[in-house]
Structures are given as structure tokens and as C-alpha cells.
Amino acid sequence: MTPLLAFITKEWLEAARTGKIIILTLLFVMFGIMNPAIAKLMPWMMEILSNTMAENGLMVTDIQVDAMTSWTQFFKNIPMALIAFVLIFSDIFTKEYKSGTLLLVLTKGLSRYKVVLAKTMLLLSLWTVGYGLCFAITYGYNAYFWDNDIANNLFVSAALWWLFGVWVICLMILLSSLLQNNTGVILCVGGTMLAAYALSIIPKAKAYSPTVLMNANSLLTGAEGIDAYAHAIAIAALLCIACVAASIPIVNKRQL
């Protein structure tokens, strides 16, 4: 087994034995089921609320529920899954710095860049599998209850949000290589998101902010074409590579 593969295996074992894999699986399955469930229950909920709404002068008539309602829910819920993902793995580096577990591994001759690569690969794999699981469950239920064909560019929309998640994870890797504790990592990831969101408010800069990728609903409804996301995709992909590449020399120079 190569040192890189050995470290990836160790990362997997850690995630599995500390219960992180189970939590993530439950989370993504729950969100996957919740999207069509909320859509399915919508008419029933509206009916219950109709009397209260009537008192306020709102009339509930015929509620139309289809696959689009479920997909809209999917893109509303997935940010919560990503936040949970960041919270769960925010200590992936800092825990090793604090406890000193990395010290013994590095003194065995393991190159530091392999530590960065192994952790990045594990996080991206878990995000991809978890996100894919959530998508597949929603897709399955939607196909069973309604028709997925109603949604435009469904797979591209899903891929955009996946890429946004990849960017957040790569950012988390960079911040983890810089900072000493996971609270700092969480706060800085949140701060960067806020800055990127603030950037997207400026009309001229909007197309270049990775947060545009979160707005996959517009692509789904056909309100916007794939072209509208081209700049954000390129910027996000470049930032992902830059974040991981910058993490390597930072970890190399870190005193343990």
C-alpha cells in the first residue's frame, strides 16, 4: 500500500469509527426523502392551514404539486446539508495539530502534501457520494410520484450545486491549513461565503461570484441558460485548485 493510500484509508477509518459516516449518511438520506415528502404533503398542509388563511383573506384553491416542487425543495435543503458537512469536518486538520497525532506520522517520512491530498480526496469523495445519494433518492421518488422531465437541465443544475460544495470544501482545506482551531475555520468559511454573496449583489460582478452556482433553480425553471453560469463555473474551478495548491506550501511551512 502506498503512503498516500494508507493515509486515505486511515482518514476513512477515522470518519467511520468516530460515527461521522453514519451521521452524514442519515443526513443525506433524510434530506433526500424530505424533498419529495414535503412536496407530497403540501396539498394536505395547505388544506389544514386553509381556514386560518381564509381568516386573513387568503383563499386556497387547487394546489398543483409536481416534480418541480420537489426539486425546488432539494435546492432549498441542500445548503443545510453542506453547512452540516462543514461543521462535522471543520476539525479534520485542527484536531491533528492540537493532539499531535500528525507528529508521529510525519516523522515516519510521510510528505506533508500527501496529508493535504488525502484529506481533500476523502472530503470530496464523501461530499460527492452523500450529495449523489440525496439526489438519487429525490430523483427516485420524483420519478415514482411525478415526472422528472418537467425540470430543465436537471443534471447540470445538480452539478452546479455540487461544484459550489466542492469550492466550500476546498476553502475549508485552505483555512484549516492556516488556522489553529476549528471555530476559526467555521467562522472564516462563513465570512468568505458572506463576502462572495456580497460580491454577487454588485450587478457587474455578479456573474463572477461562485455563489451564483447556488441559484440553480433559475436553470431548472428555464429562466436562465447554462451560459449565465459559465464565468462562475470557471472561477469556482480555479479557486478550488488554487485553495488546495496554496494549502500545500502552508502545511509544509507549519511548525508542529
Partner 1 sequence: MDVLSIHNLRKSFGGKEMLCGIDMSVPEHSIFGFIGKNGAGKTTTMKAILGLLKVDCGAIHVMGEKVRFGQTATNRYIGYLPDVPEFYSYMTPYEYLTFCGNICGMDEADIKTRSKELLDLVGLRQERHRIKGFSRGMKQRLGIAQALLNRPKLLICDEPTSALDPVGRKEILDILLAAREQTTVLFSTHILSDVERICTEAAFLHDGRIAMQGTIAQLRSRRTSDGFIVETERKEDADTLMPAFGDLRRTGQNALMCHGGEDCFFAVMCYIAEHRIPVQRIERMEPTLESLFLEVTT
Residues in contact with partner 1 by CB under 8 A are: 1-3, 5-7, 9-10, 13-14, 17-18, 99-101, 103-112, 252-253, 255-256
Min dist. Cβ of residue 184 to partner 1 (A): 21
| Grid cell listed for 73 | 425543495
Query: Given the complex with partner 1, which of 9 and 183 has the nearer CB atom?
Result: 9
Minimum distance of partner 1 from residue 17's CB (angstroms): 4
Please choose, from the candidates 64, 63, 13, 74, the residue with its C-alpha nearest in 3D space to the C-alpha of residue 38: 74
Angstrom CA distances, 27 to 33, 46, 108, 139, 190, stand at 10, 27, 37, 17, 21
Q: Report in angstroms how near the CB of residue 121 gets to partner 1 at its nearest.
A: 16
127: its cell numbers: 461530499
Please identify, using beta-carbon distances, which residue of 163 and 248 lies nearer to partner 1. 248
153 by DSSP, 3-state: which?
coil
- Least separation in angstroms between CB 248 and partner 1: 11
- Taking the least distance from each CB to partner 1, the nearer of 225 and 249 is 249
Residues 6+ apart with CB under 8 A from 77: 31, 34, 35
For partner 1, the closer of residues 105 and 199 by Cβ is: 105
Question: Residue 72 to residues 38, 41, 77, 220: CA-CA distances in angstroms?
Answer: 11, 14, 9, 9
How many CB atoms are closer than 10 A to CB 241?
10
Q: How far apart are CA 35 and CA 52, in angstroms?
A: 25
Helix (H) or strand (E) holding 141: helix 112-145
Q: How far is the CB of 254 from partner 1 (least distance, A)?
A: 8
Residue 7 or 141: the one with the smaller Cβ distance to partner 1 is 7
In the complex, minimum distance from the CB of residue 33 to partner 1, in angstroms, rounded to a whole number: 30
Residue 168 C-beta: closest distance to partner 1, Å: 26
Q: Which is nearer to partner 1, 21 or 214 (CB)?
A: 21
Q: Are 97 and 176 in contact (CB under 8 A)?
A: no
Query: Is the Cβ of residue 201 or residue 256 nearer to partner 1 in the bound state?
Result: 256
Closest CA to 172 of 224, 122, 217, 214: 122
